[in-house]
């Protein structure tokens, strides 16, 4: 489980960390870095980036996060690879894929991932460990399950491990389909103001 702590203060993260939760997800770089600084004594915390990636922040993201879930284009994979090589590190990432039309969400189409897979696989400085997806809002339980199963199927076909899928409103279907990272925010921390 990834505890999505965006919009909540470091004190809330600390409370959950004291209960044994180590993985936290943030979607804004500045906000995350502020909390990371406040919590630098909590050495076990692993910071995951789940937000939209702005190209000019890639270096900072590579430097400060353990796992990037939301890499939504070929160009960004390439840029993360370059930044990681320069920084001499291996960046763990997932490719965000778009399985249904949704004007609010980004992601690569599966066709594009397949088409470029042999090339992407060779990029240095990165370890692509899975696929991430965000379902459109207001789907039925069956529709959610169908899309999540598709994500799991594609992940398996690429011989990858992780599926980052399922949020507070659709995590049950995601578990059933084989999610390995449920990204839960409001169901853990309560309603966000933003």
Distance in Å, CB of 192 to ligand PLP, minimum: 7
Distance in Å, CB of 122 to ligand PLP, minimum: 28
Distance in Å, CB of 191 to ligand PLP, minimum: 9
Structural contact between residues 66 and 46, judged by C-beta atoms closer than 8 angstroms: yes
Decide whether 102 or 119 has the Cβ nearer to ligand PLP. 102
User: What long-range pairs does 82-85 form, CB within 8 A, spacing at least 24?
Assistant: 82/125, 83/58, 83/59, 83/125, 84/124, 84/125, 84/126, 85/124, 85/125
Decide whether 51 or 77 has the Cβ nearer to ligand PLP. 51
Decide whether 110 or 189 has the Cβ nearer to ligand PLP. 189
Which residue is closest to ligand PLP by CB? 185
Distance in Å, CB of 193 to ligand PLP, minimum: 12
Q: d(Cα 126, Cα 58) in Å, to the nearest integer? A: 13
For residue 62, give both structure tokens. 């590579």
Distance of CA 41 to the CA centre of its chain: 24
**What interhelical angle do 29-38 and 10-18 show, nearest 10?**
60
Decide whether 31 or 123 has the Cβ nearer to ligand PLP. 31
Distance in Å, CB of 77 to ligand PLP, minimum: 18
Q: Which residues bind ligand PLP (CB under 6 A)?
A: 4, 6, 27, 50, 134, 167-169, 183-187
Distance in Å, CB of 108 to ligand PLP, minimum: 15
**Strand ranges across the sheet with 162-164:** 162-164, 126-132, 91-96, 67-71, 46-49, 23-26, 2-4, 183-184
Decide whether 7 or 154 has the Cβ nearer to ligand PLP. 7
Q: Are strands 2-4 and 183-184 parallel, antiparallel or unpaired?
A: parallel
Structural contact between residues 58 and 95, judged by C-beta atoms closer than 8 angstroms: no
Structural contact between residues 134 and 106, judged by C-beta atoms closer than 8 angstroms: no
Decide whether 27 or 129 has the Cβ nearer to ligand PLP. 27
């Amino acid at each position: 489980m990834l505890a999505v702590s965006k919009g909540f203060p470091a004190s809330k993260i600390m409370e959950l960390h004291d209960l044994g939760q180590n993985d936290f997800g943030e979607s804004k770089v500045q906000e995350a870095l502020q909390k990371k600084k406040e919590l630098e004594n909590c050495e076990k915390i692993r910071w995951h980036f789940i937000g939209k990636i702005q190209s000019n922040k890639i270096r900072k993201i590579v430097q400060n996060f353990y796992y990037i879930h939301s890499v939504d284009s070929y160009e960004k994979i390439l840029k993360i690879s370059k930044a990681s090589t320069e920084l001499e590190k291996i960046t763990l990432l997932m490719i965000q894929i778009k399985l249904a039309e949704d004007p609010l969400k980004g992601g690569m189409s599966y066709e594009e991932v397949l088409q470029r897979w042999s090339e992407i696989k060779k990029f240095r400085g990165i370890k692509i460990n899975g696929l991430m997806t965000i379902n459109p809002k207001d789907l039925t339980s069956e529709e959610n399950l169908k899309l999540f199963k598709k994500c799991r199927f594609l992940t398996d076909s690429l011989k990858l491990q992780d599926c980052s899928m399922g949020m507070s409103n659709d995590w049950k279907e995601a578990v059933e389909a084989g999610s390995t990272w449920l990204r839960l925010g409001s169901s853990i921390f309560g309603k966000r103001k933003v």
